[in-house]
Amino acid sequence: MSELAAAISLKAAATSGLIDRMEKKELLERRPAAKDGRSFELFLKPAGRLIVQDSKTLIEESNRALLEGFDDQKRSDIADFLKTITARANALGGNKETENKG
């Protein structure tokens, strides 16, 4: 849970609630981990996979539209700016797990 929470910049409690809601909606399945019975692994169900695919398409189309007309240098500058803002926001939020992962 802590690995996922850090990856998506949420606290463990919020991540647990998110997983519970996604399970209830039949988007994913939680199974005990093979190597460590105290932890679990998450597996997308067909409905979850469909949302991921639709989201990827929407994100790609949105990114193309937003970045249209910018050259490679400007795109690099934008990416650097967004990384800096994200790091600062994480630092303000006090999410130590995310801060340590860079």
C-alpha 62/C-alpha 91 separation (Å) is 28
Q: Let me know whether 1 and 37 are in one domain.
A: yes
The whole domain housing 99 covers: 69-102
Share of the chain above pLDDT 70, in %: 90
What number is the average pLDDT over the span 19-37? Answer: 92
Query: What CATH code is carried by the domain that includes residue 44?
Result: 1.10.10.10
Average pLDDT score, the chain: 87
Between 1-10, 52-61, 74-83, 93-102, the lowest mean confidence (pLDDT) is in 93-102
pLDDT in tens, 32-65: 988 887 888 899 999 999 999 999 999 999 999 9
Burial class (CB in 10 A: 0-12, 13-18, 19+), 24: exposed
Same domain assignment for residues 49 and 1: yes
Do 45 and 52 touch, CB atoms closer than 8 A? Answer: no
